[in-house]
A = this chain, B = another copy of it.
Amino acid sequence: MTASGPSGDELVEMLAALAHPIRLRIVATLAGGRDYVSRLARELGVSRPLLHMHLRRLEVAGLVVGRLELSEDGKAMKYYDVTDFSLHLTASAVAEAAKTLTKQDPEKGPRPKEHT
């Protein structure tokens, strides 16, 4: 209970967010310091619309946060930071999270857990 992580749906969301080379690289880069979108795009060698999509995916999953700031020369810059996430993935942790999955639950019984 104290080690209760995210819900099943949230866990799927976080895992899916991290399960992509570019997004892994985004998190890795931001772990070394915050950055704004255009610069991050240049560093990673991806287009800004593409990076924008990946950042949104990461932000929805709660792994990064973005904040709009004004630079000294009046430009609106969107700075991103990694959040302080920590996930410990084991079979039992997964089993715990899976209890709260809401997506496509086939009408099986309450808990058909018999086994020989």
**Using a CB–CB distance below 8 Å, which chain A residues touch chain B?**
8-9, 11-12, 15-16, 18-22, 24-25, 27-28, 30-33, 35, 42-46, 82-92, 94-95, 97-99, 101, 103-104, 106-108, 111-113, 115
Contacts and interface: CB of A to CB of B under 8 A. Distances in A.
Given A25-B98, A31-B94, A33-B115, A43 B108 contact: yes
Contacts of A31: 91-92, 94-95
A54 to B, nearest CB: 13
B12 A15 contact: no
A73 to B, nearest CB: 15
Q: Which 3 A-B pairs have the closest CB atoms?
A: A45-B106, A28-B98, A15-B19
A21 B12 contact: yes
